[in-house]
Amino acid sequence: MTEPWVDTLLYADGLHKLYPDGHVQALNGVTFGVHAGEYVAITGPSGCGKSTLLNVIGALDRCDQGMVYFQSVPLSTYRDLARFRSLQIGFVFQSFYLLPTLTSQENVQVPMFGRGLDVRARRRKADELLEQVGMTKRARHLPVQLSVGERQRVAVARALANDPPLLLADEPTGNLDTGNAAQILDLLTTLQRDRGMTLVVVTHSPEVAARANRIISMRDGKVIESSDSAAMPANR
């Protein structure tokens, strides 16, 4: 019998995690797989464990029980999770988390340190990514000089810095107005389609979820439903 994580890009197998207070089960046996090129939305009410799940599958946090497989390899066998995150995963956060003293171009270069690229290559790559997200003219601006929508564009460019196969986004439109949210959503779906990336988005937004190939619904730390979205065909 073939193991369920074979042929998946990412597979969460029976993840359990208690909140640090020791009483609330953030993840309670979460199991699901994501195939390469998919756009998966994880939805559910606040406190249902969506963000915790994203952190665990992104190797930002540990689970108490269960296993995460990336390209069929358990994350627990990776000796250097920082390097794994650097090369395999791009993160987009609700609050952007740009470094305030760095320009847009410099923020995009941050994940490239330690990859053996010289300074020219880093700059060139950052400029290319900023062009892709439509931020070329704002490359020399500090985050404080950008609108919230522009900040999220820079954050998306930063997430793509090392060309990761998987992009994890935690409420990427949560801090944006309707217009900016639509633009960021367009950007993410375009990048996912054009680059063939896998996109996993945690969201409350029906608009964001509606664009996904698949919607995973969570409640009380469990997956209660995993259904294909009618909006887009799965890109498997």
Whose CA is closest to 25, among 47, 1, 54?
47
**Minimum distance, C-beta of residue 29 to another protein, in the bound complex (Å):** 20
**Minimum distance, C-beta of residue 236 to another protein, in the bound complex (Å):** 28
**Minimum distance, C-beta of residue 166 to another protein, in the bound complex (Å):** 13
**CB closer to another protein out of 83 and 207:** 83
As a whole number of angstroms, the distance between CA 201 and CA 157 comes to: 16
Q: Where are the alpha helices (DSSP H) in the chain?
A: 50-57, 81-88, 104-109, 119-132, 148-159, 178-195, 206-210
**CB closer to another protein out of 5 and 96:** 96
Q: Hunting for tokens 């020219």 — which residue is that? A: 120
CB atoms within 10 A of CB 109: 22
**Minimum distance, C-beta of residue 222 to another protein, in the bound complex (Å):** 21
**CB closer to another protein out of 97 and 224:** 97
CB atoms within 10 A of CB 211: 20
**CB closer to another protein out of 126 and 191:** 126
Q: Which residues contact 44 (CB under 8 A, 6 or more apart)?
A: 50, 217, 218, 219, 224
**Minimum distance, C-beta of residue 60 to another protein, in the bound complex (Å):** 5
Please give the residue ranges that form the binding site for another protein (CB under 8 A): 55, 58, 60-62, 80, 82-83, 85-87, 91, 93, 97, 99-102, 105-106, 109-111, 113-114, 119, 122-123, 158-159, 161-162
Q: Is 43 exposed, middle or buried (0-12, 13-18, 19+ CB in 10 A)?
A: buried
**CB closer to another protein out of 10 and 155:** 155
**Minimum distance, C-beta of residue 101 to another protein, in the bound complex (Å):** 5
As a whole number of angstroms, the distance between CA 87 and CA 195 comes to: 15
**CB closer to another protein out of 63 and 209:** 63
